[in-house]
A and B are shown apart, each in its own frame.
Chain A
Amino acid sequence: QKEVEQDPGPLSVPEGAIVSLNCTYSNSAFQYFMWYRQYSRKGPELLMYTYSSGNKEDGRFTAQVDKSSKYISLFIRDSQPSDSATYLCAMSGNSGTYKYIFGTGTRLKVLA
């Protein structure tokens, strides 16, 4: 079983839709949960991070972590064509482990 699982998509939505992206994980040592956005042929860029469980909101983006279910989500409200990219979740542990694991990424296309 992979440590981090993410549906690769592709996911196509109309402009203005609410997008839900998800990852599941198996390693209970993970404490930091990140979402990255990657455009073609570029390195990923950090969108948001959350420590432990809970929600975090930044503009149109909301990140949720449910450690009891080992499940994290990223919601994008009022999606725009410029949001079209690959979205990767990433996770890492606290002191004692320095692995920084990425999901496979979900390719999102927002149609104008």
Chain B
Amino acid sequence: SQTIHQWPATLVQPVGSPLSLECTVEGTSNPNLYWYRQAAGRGLQLLFYSVGIGQISSEVPQNLSASRPQDRQFILSSKKLLLSDSGFYLCAWIRWPSDTEAFFGQGTRLTVV
């Protein structure tokens, strides 16, 4: 069966510090991978998605970047965090075209102080 791992679960970082969140998928190959951010009481904002190694599409220009160094690995990064980067970050994978369900990692709750 397929599983998605995301870590860390919680993170408190000072303003101006770097960020690296990692997501890995097991049990599938060539998944479409997605990073979302959810602010308190808000919906999921699509940040980045990737259809293959090294292929990144950015939906919202901001202080974040993403990379996909391996087929099943998706990394969300920032060089200098802002207060507005606080939120709940979720990694998801979808196996197109045979599936329409998004499977989510446990999420990372990031607080920038």
Contact = CB atoms under 8 A, between A and B. Distances in A.
A43 B43 contact: no
Given A43-B90, A99-B59, A34 B100 contact: yes
B94 A103 contact: no
A101 B96 contact: no
Contacts of B101: 34, 46, 49
Given A43-B104, A43-B107, A90-B102, A100 B94 contact: yes
Interface residues of A, number: 25
Contact of A102 (B43, B57, B88): B43
Contact of A88 (B41, B43, B96, B100): B43
Contacts of A42: 107
Interface of B: 32, 34, 36, 41-46, 49, 51, 57, 59, 88, 90, 92, 94, 96-97, 100-102, 104-107, 109
